[in-house]
Structure 1
Amino acid sequence: MAVTVETLEKLERKITLSVPLQSIQAEVDARLKKVARTVKMDGFRPGKVPMNVVAQRYGYSVQYEVLNDKVSEAFAQAVQEAGLRVAGQPRIAEKEGAATEGQAEFEAIFEVFPEVKLGDLAAAEVEKLTAEVDDAAIDKTLDILRKQRRTFAQRAADEAAVDGDRVTVDFEGKIDGEPFAGGKADDFQFLVGEGQMLKEFEDAVRGMKVGESKTFPLAFPEDYHGKDVAGKTADFLVTVKKIEAANLPEVDEALVKSLGIEAGTVEALRADICKNLEREVKFRLQARNKQAVMDALVSVAELDLPNAVVQSEVQRLLEGARADLKQRGIKDAETAEIPHDIFLPQAERRVRLGLVVAELVKANNLEATPEQLKTHVDELAASYEKPEEVVRWYFGNRQRLADVEAIVIENNVTEFVLGKAKVADKQVSFEELMGQA
């Protein structure tokens, strides 16, 4: 039968649903009979409870379940016949006013997914980043590998602490003359000049010798993780107990072999580092350029946003924020008051972008192919010691593979848009791309 769809506002629609009372009662009777075969009640043998007793005990709940099922079936059939794509859950309520004889009538109010109008991609402007791995980047990575394998030897008593040294200290901090939690430690070790401590602390210890003590002020940043001391200034007393100089291994055959390079030569090590850095550069460039493309897509697309989907995304972001707070040890993270509105702009952008990308993928056959999935997984696995195990790990789980598929599709969209838009190439340094500039 024809379905009448009423447009309420933008994406909101209303449908009247009719369910024959006879079919409801027939299904209720059938389910009650099924219950009667297994129900247990005092004074009756299993399967021998009179139907009127079963109906009195379970009739209401069974009727409620049947009604929900029948209405859901009627709604699904109606939207299918009307060719509607429902966004979110419908609000269904019994229809007010005179009902058709022999029918239970309900009104379903819901949102539909919007029509997405993709603008002229040729008019979109996108800045595309490029970067290269140079010898300096390889040297810097090699230094990091050497530092990871450094050893320490105690300095002479008259030698002062310098950057790179490992120092052992006792310290105690006070705010307004009072000690505070976490402000005192004995035999505490850290590396000078590597950002493990706040700058004022490192500056104070740099140049000190074993046995020396120093008092100095330290201003905690406003965003310091310890809320009790954030934004406050403490007076610290520090005493140096040991200073150890770092010894970096030479870049030789022994270091190369310790890093698992079969060829055993420095040239092979540098080639391996270069290969890994190029892989990382490729992924980072894809991410940065993908972001630029997505910004361009949003700017040229026109569509209304289904509020139900936006609110669902807000809730997902809120749950993610609570999980993050809980992981960081925040008390009562599950019940912390977090305004929903702060997530609204991000949720709206995600929903808008998701709808636009889905439309572009559908219109231009940009789905991920099995070959693309395999290639991407192989690239992800290449940096691991046993890549074949990583490949099996991805392909052995449907959700993990779905995550990879989403990335590949986004890469396809990126390449498609870059092939259509006005692209301005921009060369960036390795350090800038890696966030080290």
Structure 2
Amino acid sequence: MQATQTNSEGLKREFKVVVPASELETRLVNELNALKDKVRINGFRPGKVPMTHMRRTYGRQVMVDIVQNAVNEANQQIVSENNLRLAMEPKVNLPEAREDVDAVIDAKADLSYTVALEILPTFEIADVSGVELEREVAEVTDAELDDALTRMAKQNRTFTARAEGEAAGDGDRVTINFVGKIDGEAFPGGSGDDVPVEIGSGSFIPGFEEQLVGVKAGDEKVVTATFPEDYQAAHLAGKTAEFDVKVISVEAGGEALVNDELGKSFGMDDLEALRNALRERIGVDFQAQSRRKVKRKLLDALDKLYSFELPPTLVQQEFDGVWQGVTAEMAQANRSFEDEGTTEDAAREEYRGIAERRVRLGLVLAEIGDKAEIKITEDELTRALIDRARQFPGQEKMVWDFYQKNPQALAELRAPIFEEKVVDHLLGQAKVVDKTVSKEELFKEDEEDADKA
């Protein structure tokens, strides 16, 4: 086998590979000789099948495997001899003309083909000891706990039917059937039967619940309300709808008591135990959000420290995934690029930049983790697999078996663990200063930054 480099442009490499017909012939004869002792053919004793008959019966099938093995060996040799780190699987271009293929299969012509490669870029690991990061942290205040306990008590209270003809008041629960219409036409997702609505809970769009004050069981009423401008269903955002409402029942809400009984209703010994558990749970949420934000700042800093050529196919694959998600979301919301205040070309450019950032940072984190010899332990991977299986109640064993039998799927579990360990490694090197902020400030998200992450 002879491999000759024919192109070297940026991160792209191309080689011409030639496997002589004589080598193919030798491999074929060896394979057929080995096979001759194993096959059973009527009319011939084991091991006594003539080579001409073996070749006629099994030659093409065996040669297909020989060609595939020769290609694999050539690829490995090219990578090894040239010290290449591949970004993608090699792209092999074999002969396509029928006469050329037949000549190779019959070992009457050399196997000549090209293989295109994309390699990973090389770059120096930057020193992050001078990088300064501000980590936002928030304390779980007594007021926050009081508000949470009040909400829990309100959600846990009992409701009793009001007397016949008695009107609903603030805090009552009204069960309704409704049909929502915009410009006289019912819209998808705008209807429901036997839907409980707690007046004053804010669970419905603004203005809806307030108009149920004073209704009685059996009443029919038209409720007019406007969807918020930032409503999650973009095709409804900012639009005014009329809801034909029929009241099924009205129930008075009991008193929301924050006491030891509340704690016991949640499986705790008393109110203080519930309060402590709540403080711990909220604290975990605060810490997770704090980490998400400081990680994003770290990635922003890394993005400024590195500039190198990116493997074009990796970028294209990342962009295709991002773009597919964007267009699918817009189609579902019935929105256009014009509705978003942009054009398709401008959006493509923006999201290509996001794809390039993700690929660049992925390569940087992988290189840093490799140089720092960061490893994923079996215990860490097992815990991740257990967590994933728990996301599918009743199917845990099927999920477990799937990952155990699919190395690629298991690698997808390993990747985020590796990334978080690399982030920990970098945060330990950078200058991180904590800044105490309010809960509202901690959870304030920058939409642009969220897209880049």
* CA separation of 1:227 and 1:60: change in aligned 2, threshold 3 A: farther
User: Is the counterpart of residue 350 in structure 1 residue 358 in structure 2?
Assistant: yes
User: Is the counterpart of residue 286 in structure 1 residue 265 in structure 2?
Assistant: no
In structure 2, the residue matched to 1:428 is 437
In structure 2, the residue matched to 1:21 is 21
* CA separation of 1:259 and 1:45: change in aligned 2, threshold 3 A: farther
Q: CA deviation at 1:110?
A: 0.8
* CA separation of 1:421 and 1:89: change in aligned 2, threshold 3 A: same
User: Is the counterpart of residue 250 in structure 1 residue 257 in structure 2?
Assistant: yes
1: CA distance, partners of 2:193 / 2:373: 64
Q: Is this contact kept in 1: 2:168–2:251, CA < 8 A?
A: no
2: CA distance, partners of 1:141 / 1:102: 79
Q: Is this contact kept in 2: 1:36–1:54, CA < 8 A?
A: no
Query: Secondary structure of 1:23's partner?
Result: helix
* CA separation of 1:407 and 1:131: change in aligned 2, threshold 3 A: farther
Q: Is this contact kept in 2: 1:290–1:410, CA < 8 A?
A: no
Q: Is this contact kept in 2: 1:210–1:240, CA < 8 A?
A: yes
TM-score normalised by length of structure 2: 0.70
2: CA distance, partners of 1:324 / 1:52: 62
Superposition pairs of residues 140-151 of structure 1, within 5 angstroms: 140-151=147-158
In structure 2, the residue matched to 1:303 is 308
1: CA distance, partners of 2:19 / 2:413: 44
Alpha-carbon displacement from aligned partner over 1:309-342 (angstroms, at most 9, x marks no partner): 23343455578789999xx9x9xxxxxxx99958
Superposition pairs of residues 43-122 of structure 1, within 5 angstroms: 55=55, 59-93=59-93, 103-122=110-129
Q: CA deviation at 1:212?
A: 4.3
Q: CA deviation at 1:377?
A: 5.4
* CA separation of 1:214 and 1:351: change in aligned 2, threshold 3 A: same
The gaps in structure 2 that reach 5 residues or longer are 97-107, 335-343, 391-395, 446-453
Superposition pairs of residues 134-283 of structure 1, within 5 angstroms: 134-156=141-163, 157-162=165-170, 164-179=171-186, 183-219=190-226, 233-247=240-254, 250-261=257-268, 264-283=269-288
* CA separation of 1:248 and 1:140: change in aligned 2, threshold 3 A: same
Alpha-carbon displacement from aligned partner over 1:374-428 (angstroms, at most 9, x marks no partner): 9x959x98xx9xxxxx9xx99x976898677545543443344334445454322
In structure 2, the residue matched to 1:333 is none
Query: Secondary structure of 1:302's partner?
Result: coil
Q: CA deviation at 1:234?
A: 3.9
What is the one-letter code of the residue matched to 1:286? Answer: R
What is the one-letter code of the residue matched to 1:21? Answer: A
Q: Is this contact kept in 2: 1:37–1:46, CA < 8 A?
A: no
Alpha-carbon displacement from aligned partner over 1:165-211 (angstroms, at most 9, x marks no partner): 32122334444445556555554322233343322432432454445
Query: Secondary structure of 2:208's partner?
Result: helix
Q: Is this contact kept in 1: 2:11–2:311, CA < 8 A?
A: yes
1: CA distance, partners of 2:123 / 2:403: 33
Q: Is this contact kept in 2: 1:219–1:233, CA < 8 A?
A: yes
TM-score normalised by length of structure 1: 0.73
Q: CA deviation at 1:113?
A: 0.6
2: CA distance, partners of 1:222 / 1:265: 43
What is the one-letter code of the residue matched to 2:158? Answer: T
In structure 2, the residue matched to 1:8 is 8
Q: Is this contact kept in 1: 2:136–2:442, CA < 8 A?
A: no
What is the one-letter code of the residue matched to 2:8? Answer: L
2: CA distance, partners of 1:420 / 1:189: 53
* CA separation of 1:358 and 1:268: change in aligned 2, threshold 3 A: same
What is the one-letter code of the residue matched to 2:135? Answer: K
- Paired positions, count: 406
Q: Is this contact kept in 1: 2:17–2:115, CA < 8 A?
A: yes
2: CA distance, partners of 1:89 / 1:284: 37
What is the one-letter code of the residue matched to 1:160? Answer: A
What is the one-letter code of the residue matched to 1:358? Answer: A
